[in-house]
Amino acid sequence: MQLKHLKITFIVLLLLIIIPAETAPKYEFRAAWIATVLRLDWPSSSTVSTQKSQLITILNQMQQAGLNAAVFQIRPACDAFYESDIEPWSNWLTGTEGKAPNPYYDPLEFAVEEAHKRGIELHAWFNPYRAKKGASNGVTAEHVFNQHPDWILAVGSKHDGITDSWRPLDERGTDNIQEADYILNPGMAVVRDYVLGVILDVVNRYDIDGVHMDDYFYPYSGITTEDQATFNAENRGFTNIGDWRRDNVNLLIEAIYDSLKTVKPHVKLGMSPFGIWKSGVPSGIVGLSAYSTIYCDAVAWLDGKYIDYLTPQLYWPFGGGQDYGKLMPWWAQQARRNNRHLYTGNAPYRISADSWDAGELPRQIRLNRQTNTCLGNVYFRINYGVLNNPQGFLDSLKNYYYRLPALTPPMSWIDSLAPAPPTWVTIEEKSDRAIIRWGHDVPTKSAGDVYRHIIYKWRESVLPDFDIPDFVYTMTSSSDQDSVIDNDFGEYIYGVAALDRLNNESSVVTATGSAAQPVTSVPKTFQLVQNFPNPFNPATTFSFQLPQAEFVTLNIYNLQGQLVATLVNDFLAPGPHHIGWQAGHLKSGVYLYQLQVGELSRTRKCILMK
């Protein structure tokens, strides 16, 4: 064992020597999947204390490794790793489907709270259609498999037992296990409404940062006539069943996206499809086509702009028919032309499972960083691929690639307004430490705007560059924290900036012995953001920014197109603006607010819920 450890350490040191120096990005999505199906990553036990301890250990190790997001599987097969009135507790959580944890706790609530304490985003991972996995679930009367057998399609499939991936036998080898694959029928409108309801239930009740879905749509083993009757009954005018199946998937994703941006705009929608869109695209790529086998048209999702980030499962090395060096840049191009983010799905599990070379994953990280629009990685999976440190991979993240902290990338199409900076930052030096404090004495752009703070630190002789992570001292986990302590403070200057939920950053205010003046700037673009709060009762605030003085009209309409209120009809100065609205006299429902600025117009939805 000692010899093996020395060998791994030597490999890591060698890699660090031969890797060329590079500047780490300040914004990078650094995530891993935490798989709960079959208890692949968590939990290993039904004992509550063990579950909590194991999850805290995983999150601590993720934080130490420099990861900033967790993709946490909460619905493996129409079951729940959270309290739900719609679907039963998962048997992979408690050992018995439908049985709550004892003593009671809510694993999703616990995971969100513990992740946020560590500055880690929590993206709730849903399997949208998988209903039953062999005989391991779907046994209670309350499960949708038994409640609505008319919603279920049964098809044969092959399972590899390592990745929880379903592939045809010729794709995965002869050691696969034959198993029936039961899925919800994507062609039924009632099924799409059901899945949407499950997801919105979570979004409304939990403080998650993202909704994430993987490649479990139509089965990898193929589908023939199982949904022919549904096609005949609900074809929506399609004559080609393949086009209809793709549209079934697209309709669900678009409905989820539209609902998220109405209810909680900051919640990101991420999709993780199979890594090959079509065999032969780009040139030289061969393999299963997600487009025609599982009916996933990820290009349509990007073109329709109803996802925020795409995570294609690029579980292959450089070279060969599934060349990472060709596939990743092609996906980056699709994301770039639609102003969306690409975070690649990477496969460190293959270091152990398939004896990959220790340099393969570091090479993929480097190519990602060199490619415009490729803004991060999601690793499959946390315990078997990252934390087990295959060939020193975890060490390379800690000691080199993720040594400096990173923020998850902002998404300008959701909100590009920066929060107000602190109005004052002070430093109090004692004999053994410095205390940096800050505060906000003026209203920010909307209630709840400042989410946390970033603290910079630099030597007096240095001109800091806040666009790189080299000068980041720390980041707080919430807006409630208003001070930090540093024991190494001699000849250093400190600055503090505010971050909103999407990591839009204010200007930096430098620490002084007394209150500092707030720093303001004229915005560069016209931007309308989602009202806050939303849903609301009875008051909400509309926020927008103007790059120059303009005549502005802000109108509110009901869904019949009738004008119900005019909030602004005047010339406004450049800069941020925040307009309040009291709607207590109106009925509950969805309203549209339209901002007209010169010849430009923007419209969004808001929900009054009494």
Percent of the chain beyond pLDDT 70? 89
Which residues have C-beta within 8 Å of that of residue 462, sequence separation ≥ 6?
Answer: none
Mean pLDDT calculated for residue range 218-223: 89
Q: What is the pLDDT of residues 192-220, one digit of tens each?
A: 999 999 999 999 999 999 999 998 889 98
Are the C-beta atoms of residues 427 and 516 closer than 8 Å to each other?
no
Q: What is the pLDDT of residues 5-25, one digit of tens each?
A: 444 444 444 444 344 445 799
Calpha distance 275→294 (Å, rounded): 12
Whether pTM > 0.85 for this model: the answer is no
Which residues have C-beta within 8 Å of that of residue 550, sequence separation ≥ 6?
Answer: 571, 572, 597, 598
Q: Report residue 394: phi and psi, to 5°.
A: -60, -40
Q: What is the pLDDT of residues 293-316, one digit of tens each?
A: 999 999 999 999 999 999 999 999
C-alpha neighbours within 13 Å on the C-beta side of residue 43: 23
Calpha distance 300→283 (Å, rounded): 20
For the chain, what is the mean pLDDT? Answer: 89
Closest CA to 43 of 353, 350, 383: 383
* pLDDT for 442: 63
- DSSP annotation string for 317-378: -SSSTT-HHHHHHHHHHHHHHTT-EEEEEE-THHHHHS---TTHHHHHHHHHHHSTTEEEEE
Calpha distance 483→437 (Å, rounded): 4
Are the C-beta atoms of residues 361 and 328 closer than 8 Å to each other?
no
Mean pLDDT calculated for residue range 112-123: 98
Kindly list the structural domains of the chain, giving each domain's residue range(s) and its CATH number in brackets, ordered by start. Answer: 2-121+188-213+247-401 (3.20.20.80), 424-510 (2.60.40.10), 527-608 (2.60.40.1930)
Q: What is the pLDDT of residues 450-500, one digit of tens each?
A: 999 999 999 988 888 999 999 999 999 988 899 999 999 988 999 999 999
Amino acid occupying residue 160: D
Q: What is the pLDDT of residues 392-410, one digit of tens each?
A: 999 999 999 999 999 999 9
Q: For the chain, what is the largest distance between any 2 Cα atoms, rounded to a whole number of angstroms? A: 79
Q: What is the pLDDT of residues 522-539, one digit of tens each?
A: 555 677 877 878 888 898
